[in-house]
């Protein structure tokens, strides 16, 4: 656990960690930049409730008024949700500047992992990770999430990566960086809104206990994070052809508008929301909830192992 002046862990989360109780970290860029208001607020509250129902303590992470906060109260969730994209999006390189400026920011997968590790939280659930953008051979746009996974010992439960990214290249970079990619109950790497990307995973695990055991081994080796890819439930998945066509249209619109850098992922998400008349958001929320359920079960299994 690093000592860091501005890391503010809520009493509930700190007590749970001290007692060895299961804790699940949750990110906040998905609140500020990933979903529109007020669905973002309902989602943020919903996933905290699902974490609790699963027997774990939720630790939503954000930068608020210049503090790295681990464990938020409802008023914080409301403020983040209402502020939306007017808040900053904190990637790793932004953290020090945002803390010094007293800013409020959503934390990405990368920075949520960073704070989770500082707090001593092993598990983190989100929707999708950032990755290698299509055309990255020209733009060099590769999410800092991949670098963070390679260095920070936190297990991230996600529904794979959206095909707004180049999923094949994303998996290649994860391999280069030595990040274990685990299919949870699947042999295929999922594609966020759909259950399969057409790419295989190297390792499949089917139970929370098996994932907890893997986390213990990986962390004891002093290696970095783990990516646990949990496919969207079939009932919530979108039609693969429809979503592919929509993504292609959204990317073309982004190129025409000259959208790039950290604005690109939020732009594509909101454009896809418009083009699918909100269907993408309904599925997005469902898959986040599904990931949080799995993460809570893994956190419970991990706490039980560590008590033995
Ligand atoms: N994917 C989503 N919703 C999101 C994000 C990704 O479906 O909100 C956010 C996550 O916080 C992720 C970040 O860490 O976007 C990646 O941004 P970038 O591609 O700029 O690294
Ligand atoms: Mn980027």
The domain spanning residue 290 has which CATH number? 3.40.1790.10
**For the chain, how far is it from start to end, CA to CA, in angstroms?**
22
Q: Is 89 in the pocket of ligand 1 (CB under 6 A)?
A: no
What's the mean pLDDT in 49-70?
A: 98
User: Which atom of ligand 1 is nearest the CA belonging to 264?
Assistant: 20
pTM score over 0.85: yes
Look at residue 4 in the predicted model and tell me its pLDDT.
58
Query: Is 130 near ligand 1, meaning CB less than 6 Å away?
Result: yes
The protein residue whose alpha carbon is closest to atom 1 in ligand 1 is 128
Q: Is 166 helix (H, G, I), strand (E, B) or coil?
A: coil
* Number of structural domains in the chain: 1
Pocket test for ligand 1, best of 30, 132, 229, 238 (most atoms within 8 A of CB): 30
Cα–Cα nearest to 226, from 216, 236, 239:
216
pLDDT at 258: 95
Measure the CA dihedral 136/90/83/291, to 10°: 70
* Residue 93, pLDDT above cutoff 90: yes
For ligand 1, is residue 225 a contact (CB within 6 Å)? no
Mean pLDDT of all residues in 85-101: 96
List the domain range (segments joined by +) for residue 14.
2-307
C-beta separation of 174 from 146 below 8 A? yes
Q: Name the helix (H) or strand (E) containing 111.
A: helix 109-119
pLDDT at 163 over 90: no
Residue 5 banded pLDDT, cuts 50, 70, 90:
low
Position with higher pLDDT, 4 vs 266: 266
pLDDT tens across 191-229, in order? 999 999 999 999 999 999 999 999 999 999 999 999 999
From the CA of 222, how far away is ligand 1's center (Å)? Answer: 26
Q: Name residues with Cβ closer than 5 Å to ligand 2, which is an ion.
A: 141
Half-sphere exposure of 78 (CA within 13 A, CB side): 3
Which residues participate in catalysis according to the annotation?
A: 27, 162
Give the residue from 17, 226, 127, 215 showing the smallest Cα distance to 7: 17
Q: Which pLDDT value is given to residue 1?
A: 43
pLDDT band at 2 (very low <50, low <70, confident <90, very high): very low
The minimum-distance atom of ligand 1 relative to the CA of 35 is 8
Binding residues for Mn(2+): 141
Q: Ligand 1, residue 91: give the atom nearest the CA.
A: 21
Ligand 1 atom 16, closest CA: 130
- From ligand 1's centre to the CA of 143, what distance in Å? 8
Q: How many angstroms separate the alpha carbon of residue 303 from the centre of ligand 2? A: 35
Query: Ligand 1: does its nearest atom lie under 6 Å from the Cβ of 265?
Result: yes
**Which ligand has the nearest atom to the CA of 128?**
1
Distance from residue 100's CA to the centre of ligand 1 (Å) = 23
């Amino acid at each position: 656990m690093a000592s860091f002046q501005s890391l503010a862990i809520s009493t509930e989360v700190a007590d749970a960690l001290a007692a060895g109780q299961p804790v699940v970290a949750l990110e906040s860029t998905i609140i500020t930049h990933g979903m529109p208001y007020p669905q973002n607020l309902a989602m943020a509250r919903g996933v905290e409730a699902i974490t609790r129902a699963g027997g774990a303590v939720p630790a939503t992470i954000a930068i608020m008024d210049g503090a790295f906060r681990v464990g938020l109260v409802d008023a914080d969730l409301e403020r983040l949700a209402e502020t939306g994209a007017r808040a900053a999006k904190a990637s790793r390189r932004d953290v020090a500047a945002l803390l010094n400026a007293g800013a409020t920011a959503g934390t990405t997968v990368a920075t949520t992992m960073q704070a989770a590790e500082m707090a001593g939280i092993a598990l983190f659930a989100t929707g999708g990770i950032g990755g290698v953008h299509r055309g990255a051979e020209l733009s060099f746009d590769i999410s800092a999430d991949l670098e963070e996974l390679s260095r920070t010992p936190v297990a991230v439960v996600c529904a794979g990566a959206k095909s707004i990214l180049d999923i094949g290249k994303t998996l290649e970079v994860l391999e280069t960086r030595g990040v274990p990619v685990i299919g949870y109950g699947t042999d295929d790497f999922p594609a966020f809104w759909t259950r399969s990307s057409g790419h295989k995973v190297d390792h499949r695990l089917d139970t929370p206990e098996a994932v907890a055991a893997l986390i213990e081994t990986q962390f004891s080796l002093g290696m970095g994070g783990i990516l646990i890819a949990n496919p969207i439930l079939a009932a919530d998945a979108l039609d693969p052809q429809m979503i592919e066509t929509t993504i292609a249209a959204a990317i073309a619109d982004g190129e025409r508008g000259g959208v790039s850098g950290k604005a690109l992922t939020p732009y594509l998400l909101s454009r896809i929301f418009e083009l699918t008349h909100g269907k993408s958001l309904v599925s997005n929320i469902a898959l986040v909830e599904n990931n949080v359920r799995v993460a809570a079960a893994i956190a419970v299994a991990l706490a039980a192992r560590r008590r033995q």
